Structure 1
């Protein structure tokens, strides 16, 4: 694993596979898909947006999103919810608010309809044995082109309005517009590509992690009660802070175990530049190499009883003793996910707030799975939610929330 993911050997294994080419065509040449000097330049611009201090600054938005879900559930007559749909709506709303600020309500309807189309298209183009040229006017290509045009057009319009404004804004898109390095700035196309990648990685991975964490808690009352006890001890007083979120140690263990059992990115691909030998196997030049977190996360030699849900696998002592590549749901090395801290923080905040206020009972033992770019439930993830505290009042905020 280290041969493929860690510096400097990772340079021999590039994002040139058909999967990444399809992703580059549809999502642009952003931080996830770019390479070489382009990637280094983008990384210099974007890294300041994902420092610990910057990520912690978004906690209020994360808390607000989770509390709004709690209020809606408190007032839901049936209290039977689809965890997948609910968590996707939660994390997409948070991502849109952090990216677009007051323009998030304008973006959300577009995001809901275009992102699933692009995700499915990447998988189809990346793994299909027969690839029709994207310029051919097939029904599928026309549907993809409409989604691309709608999403790109609205992103570009927002970016250009920000450029023309006296102040571009303090949300992420505003900070990308304002970013400068030695007089250099990101172009509109570059900002748009980063926005699309953040929308993908900034909500889908977190939604998957939360969906399966709550599903697993709904089948394991003892673990759920322990997570609730921690939430009640930590989340006291007013609005939870970043310090509160970092104190949710057991909640984080629950999320890590959920991401082990259901890694949001179940596979990674690279293409070898030069022939190499790895663990006794010859990898010829030009060969595609597939890394599968799903497979590694379910190896019995690394994870005894790998299909059993057990957050105790992630105590500090257990993590120190385990091989560093035994768990890598966000990738690893220089090209590991820059948003891992963001995803884990948002998931911890949301899980703690929801578990504090509700009891969860999963209505199915297993969940059918599917994947496009990321792992998803193939259908609904039904869960009965029982209110533990009195009906919540209307949200205290008066600003628009997508």
Structure 2
């Protein structure tokens, strides 16, 4: 386990209200509040979220140490009743031996070799969307990206496109995501589970829809696997076939939890990243022109394949820079156990230690002009090396997101497929993020489509 050589010297942060602590300020503007902690107080700041003692850390050395230690001297924060309803005790929220068992069962389903086999579906789903688009039409970018990534997840996770059931499932996940965001920002965070606020009632109904559909899919896949000579090659089939060291499979409830977690991670996070990517490209004509040049040179008018991924270096840099500026997962908490330390300093047991990709990714110490969209900062010849864990959109340590490779390949291939066929012209205006479970645009992003010849790069 890496230990930071940088001493950690916490200072007291802003005073809060009795019982509530800094909850009001945090809930009103979470991103601004955390940025002020970093800028006004330093790299290690104590504050309080309601009655809970908290420590906010901003230095990549301390963040690396925290993320590496989360399975040894830190625990998962069980603060969101809403999130637990969605994912259950999946690999995302499970602990200890239970977490190690589930990770060993889930990880093989998203290894690079498996991701490679899903690349064709990623491109095909993006092509289906582009075939439907028309020159001069107006689209809701977030909705279109969500439809594409939803279809990709349904193809790779469940093996088919669910039609209207898929739309209902997607709508239910949207409701659930909004409920988690509302709970994290508000007073319902401290309400007991039996209190049913309007938001919680909507969540319960959404989870019922998710459960009904996912359990139906599990039963269908079990029946198909028993009847077919050749098993389907999708994530759900792999989850059902997985066995631990003692030969035990995941239970139907555990399969449901992992499938829903993979669904949310594979659908919502990537569609959010792609939405922000097109917003940023619309305001950076030179970066977009360089993207189109790379697509012409590498693809020569054909759709991309997984073999093109490593050659699409500028495309990858665009995705990486979009994830820097607008990381879908913007906050990572951990709870200190007895004996926890950071930077050689003892952290009292029960303290919630927080780090934020939003504030670290926009720290001027690690990134020049941190609020500017500059994909070139990720080039092999970039003059300013980025410190380890100054960029960590997928977390770090043993709990690094299992789907990180899937998400990066998916985002790059979908971007390449769409960008070689259309310009998405959006207003040159700043769009603030809306803080929920993920960082979504606070206002709809409507783009005008301009069709281009994928071989020449010229307008159709």
Residues 1:301 and 2:365 are matched in the alignment? yes
In the alignment, which residue of structure 2 is the partner of 1:147? 206
Point out 4+ residue stretches in structure 1 off by more than 6 angstroms.
Answer: none
* Unpaired runs of at least 5, structure 1: 391-402
CA 319–285 in structure 1, closer or farther in 2 if over 3 Å, else same:
farther
How far the C-alpha of 1:381 sits from its partner, in A, is 1.3
How far the C-alpha of 1:138 sits from its partner, in A, is 4.3
TM (norm. structure 1) is 0.90
CA distance in 2, matches of 1:341, 1:122: 25
How far the C-alpha of 1:127 sits from its partner, in A, is 4.2
CA 366–237 in structure 1, closer or farther in 2 if over 3 Å, else same:
closer
Larger Rg: 2
CA distance in 2, matches of 1:223, 1:327: 21
SS at match of 1:331: coil
Contact 1:22 1:126 (C-alpha < 8 Å) held by counterparts? no
In the alignment, which residue of structure 1 is the partner of 2:292? 228
SS at match of 1:386: strand
How far the C-alpha of 1:117 sits from its partner, in A, is 1.7
In the alignment, which residue of structure 2 is the partner of 1:124? 182
Residues 1:175 and 2:238 are matched in the alignment? yes
How far the C-alpha of 1:238 sits from its partner, in A, is 4.9
Aligned residues: 386
Give CA-to-partner distance per residue, 1:310-369, whole Å, 9 cap, x none.
111101244993211110011111101111111110111111111111223321421121
Picking from 244, 248, 254, the partner of 1:190 is 254
Q: How does 1:251-330 map to 2 (within 5 A)?
A: 251-274=315-338, 276-279=340-343, 283-318=347-382, 321-330=385-394
Residues 1:16 and 2:77 are matched in the alignment? yes
SS at match of 1:337: coil
Contact 2:82 2:203 (C-alpha < 8 Å) held by counterparts? no
Picking from 142, 150, 153, the partner of 1:92 is 150
CA distance in 2, matches of 1:328, 1:69: 30
Residues 1:204 and 2:262 are matched in the alignment? no
| Coordinate RMSD, CA, aligned | 2.2
In the alignment, which residue of structure 1 is the partner of 2:108? 48
Q: How does 1:362-373 map to 2 (within 5 A)?
A: 362-373=426-437
CA 90–319 in structure 1, closer or farther in 2 if over 3 Å, else same:
farther
* Unpaired runs of at least 5, structure 2: 1-62, 455-460
Of stretches 173-182 and 283-292 in structure 1, the one that deviates more from structure 2 is 173-182
How far the C-alpha of 1:45 sits from its partner, in A, is 1.1
SS at match of 2:162: helix
Of stretches 349-358 and 139-148 in structure 1, the one that deviates more from structure 2 is 139-148
Picking from 13, 25, 33, the partner of 2:85 is 25
In the alignment, which residue of structure 2 is the partner of 1:160? 219
CA 239–307 in structure 1, closer or farther in 2 if over 3 Å, else same:
closer
TM (norm. structure 2) is 0.79
Contact 2:74 2:340 (C-alpha < 8 Å) held by counterparts? no
In the alignment, which residue of structure 2 is the partner of 1:339? 403
Give the structure with the higher percent helix.
Answer: 1
